[in-house]
Amino acid sequence: MDSVWWVAIAAIAFVGTHFLLSHPLRAPVAGVVGERGFLGVYSLVSIGTFVWLVIAFQRAPPRSFLWVPGNITWAIVTLVMLLASVLFMGSLLRNPALPNPVAAGPAPAEARGVFAITRHPMMWSFALWGLCHMAVLPTPPNLILCVAIVFLALVGSAMQDRKKAILRPEMWPEWEAKTSYWPFAAVTAGKARLVGFGGFDLGGGLVLWLVATWAHIPLAHVGAGIWRWILH
């Protein structure tokens, strides 16, 4: 079997088991092994299928690019990845979408920081990562890997909205009314303001962006981000 097919099979397993365990199989599995046991099963399956996907991707031989990304594409991707880094760092604090958020009470009075951009900043950071890497590394194995990440992040977020509305009816509909699924939609609709950013999301996002893009040089032997221009 062609190596690209193994990447596709691993990607389907990675995404499929996430959705199965998060939704139809969650209650039956938790009923047998308990909530803690379910989290253990979910983690093992997630890690196992992700490792399988990474190994299949790494074993796929080099392929020709389906298109050639130019400097304009690289510049756009560089800026989008900075936004993705800020979204990811901001999502780590006071995020109602996390399984056990610290603030598990009523919905925040106002969507601030990255939550003014989208109520799913972590998932959108993963989706933007996937889209950016599709744009600059257009090989079949990488496109399969990135499509899996983007699909899991965006479809998973939409399904999470439905699940949270059922599990937390006292706050989630109110939180949805103040925020948006699509980035910046709440801002353009006048439901949220771009305020409340701090050092953790902006400063941490900048550091993450600089370190992660620099790491492409020793790990992938490719200049990414601003390092593509600074070190060339």
pLDDT by position in tens, the chain (length 232)? 678 999 999 999 999 999 999 888 888 988 888 888 888 999 999 999 999 999 999 999 988 999 999 999 999 999 999 999 999 999 999 898 876 544 456 778 899 999 999 999 999 999 999 999 999 999 999 999 999 999 999 999 999 999 888 888 888 999 999 999 999 999 999 999 999 999 999 999 999 999 999 999 998 888 899 999 988 6
Q: What is the pLDDT of residue 22?
A: 84
By CB neighbour count within 10 A (0-12 exposed, 13-18 middle, 19+ buried), where does 96 fall? buried
Residues 88 and 35 in one domain: no
> 119 and 15 in one domain?
no
- Which of 61, 94, 112 is the last residue before a domain boundary? 61
The predicted pLDDT at position 101 comes to 46
Based on the domain organization, do 75 and 50 belong to the same domain? Answer: no
The helix (run of H) or strand (run of E) holding residue 28 is: helix 26-59
**Cα 89 to Cα 94, 126, 175, 185, distances in angstroms:** 11, 12, 20, 20
Instruction: Provide the CA 132 distance to its chain's centre, in angstroms.
Output: 12
Using alpha carbons, select from 7, 26, 29 the residue that is nearest to residue 145.
Answer: 7
Query: 186 and 222 share a domain?
Result: yes
The span from the CA of 232 to the CA of 227, in Å, is 8
Are 57 and 74 in a shared domain? no
Asked if residue 50 and residue 113 are part of one domain, the reply reads: no
CA distance 159 to 14: 17
For the record, the structure tokens of 104 come out as 């598990």
Choosing from 21, 46, 61, the residue where a domain stops is 61
The whole domain housing 40 covers 1-61
Chain center to CA of 216: 19
Counting the structural domains of the chain, the total is 2
Instruction: Give the model's pLDDT for residue 25.
Output: 85
Cα(52)–Cα(9) distance, rounded to whole angstroms?
10
What does R_g of the chain's alpha carbons equal in angstroms? 19
Q: Are residues 103 and 45 in the same domain?
A: no
CB 87 within 8 A of CB 124: yes
Q: 216 and 169 in one domain?
A: yes
How many angstroms separate the CA atoms of 119 and 181, rounded? Answer: 6
| Per-residue pLDDT, 146 | 97
Among 9, 43, 61, give the residue marking a domain's end: 61
Are both 50 and 104 inside the same structural domain?
no
Residue 106, burial from CB neighbour count under 10 angstroms (0-12, 13-18, 19+): exposed
Do 10 and 91 fall into the same domain?
no
170 and 78 share one domain: yes
In degrees and rounded to multiples of 5, residue 3 shows phi and psi of -60, -30
Distance, CA of 51 to CA of 162 (rounded, Å):
29
Question: Which regions of the chain does DSSP assign to beta strands (E)?
Answer: none
Check residue 174 and give its pLDDT.
92
- Taking the CA atoms of 156, 162, 165 and 166 in sequence, report the sign of the dihedral they define: negative
